[in-house]
Amino acid sequence: MPATGDTRPVTPAPPLPDLFGRYQQMIGRALREELEPHKLPLYTTLRYYLGWVDQNGNPDPQPEGKALRPTLCLRACEALGGDAETALPAAISLEYIHNFSLIHDDIQDEDEFRRHRKTVWAIWGEPVGIISGNAIFALADLAVGKLAELGVANSITVEVGRALADRYLRMMEGQYLDISYEGRQSISVDEYLDMIQRKTGALIECSVYCGALIGAGENADPDLIEKMCVLGRELGYIFQIRDDVLGVWGGPATGKPVGADIQRKKKALPAVHALDSATGAAAERITAIYSKERVEPADVEDALSIMEDLGSRIYCEKLATDHWRKALNVLQSIPLASGAGADLKNLGEYLLVRES
């Protein structure tokens, strides 16, 4: 049956593009090698979070994540004529920074589960969760420093390091804005899009940018690099807008109940649209729901009904499609290595309709 608040027929989840499987072993190996020298119990929390061991440090392999950011980095490198192995330090740094943000997000949001397992802070407490996040963040800095060892020019190594620092600062800015919006009843769509471009989009953009820099080398065409950067930015918008849709209507494939983001009063794009668009009794009701200290199941049902009447899901999906058209226009204007254009097109189409 369709999810509550969504009257459209259920369609099968789209398959994961082959692109992800191509780099999976390479990324997994490099992540493990980077952590291998570190034996203190602190690092058990990281191996646990990455899905390699249980909380006691015993092998307990979990399904591999998609590793979107390192995959984008490696494919962008190859797309501009580089060797994916050369870009691995940057790819690993991106994945570590992403996990740093998740470990700290779990604490901020008081989420006790992620990827169907207990979170670090839920097992070891908030202080250890904070230290674990900081530790994996430091490992990210150490990883990217190994680019020079693989023959990457010093100027590019420095720029990749600068770009990572700039983007994770923007990611933190986005996190700050997200927190500040929790206390506001009214947020414009433009304000929200600026926030997600920082919090989520910056690192996805950086993945494409760093891979392109490494792949193109010192004689890269600045216009080509900028176009790759724009492509990454648009993919970041698509990813987060789809995430917002799944947070309200996603259902079992996401590991969350329908209406999860409403239950948490999370002002993601569907809520921003509904709060901004509702009038009359609907406006009073949805404003009251997002002002309550505790949201009840009946409130979730009412919010879903209001969002359906307002076409909030349709609005979100159209906005994601608009960003995909921009991404596609950029993609079609870039001369890429054989097969890269098709790979990135398949990836964008997947992000637009993914179910988890």
Residue-wise pLDDT for 173-216, tens only, equals 999 999 898 888 789 999 999 999 999 999 999 999 999 999 99
Q: Are strands 117-118 and 113-114 parallel, antiparallel or unpaired?
A: antiparallel
42 vs 129: CA distance, rounded Å: 10
Task: Give pLDDT tens digits for 73-129.
Answer: 999 999 999 999 999 999 999 999 999 999 999 999 888 998 889 999 999 999 999
121 vs 110: CA distance, rounded Å: 9
Q: How confident is the model at residue 10 (pLDDT cuts 50, 70, 90)?
A: low
For residue 163, pLDDT over 70 is answered with: yes
Task: Render the burial of 67-80: b for 16+ CB within 10 Å, e for the rest.
Answer: bbbbbbbbbbbbbb
Distances (CA, A) of 5 to 117, 139, 294: 28, 43, 21
Task: Give pLDDT tens digits for 251-282.
Answer: 666 667 899 999 989 999 999 999 999 999 99
Q: How confident is the model at residue 4 (pLDDT cuts 50, 70, 90)?
A: very low
Q: Which of 12-26, 40-54, 269-283 has the lowest mean pLDDT?
A: 12-26
125 vs 111: CA distance, rounded Å: 12
Q: What pLDDT is stored for residue 116 in this prediction? A: 84
| Residue ranges covered by each domain of the chain | 18-353
Q: Which of 3-12, 131-140, 295-304, 345-354 has the lowest mean pLDDT?
A: 3-12
Average pLDDT value for residue range 226-254: 92
For residue 1, pLDDT over 60 is answered with: no
**What percentage of the chain reaches a pLDDT higher than 70?**
95
Q: Which residues contact 4 (CB under 8 A, 6 or more apart)?
A: 258, 259, 301, 304
145 vs 330: CA distance, rounded Å: 31
356 vs 351: CA distance, rounded Å: 10
Spelled out in words, what is the top-level CATH class assigned to the domain 18-353? mainly alpha
Question: What secondary structure does DSSP assign to 99-152, as a single string?
Answer: HHHHHHHHHHHT--EETTEE-HHHHH-HHHHHHHHHHHHHHHHHHHGGGGGGT-
DSSP tag of 201: I
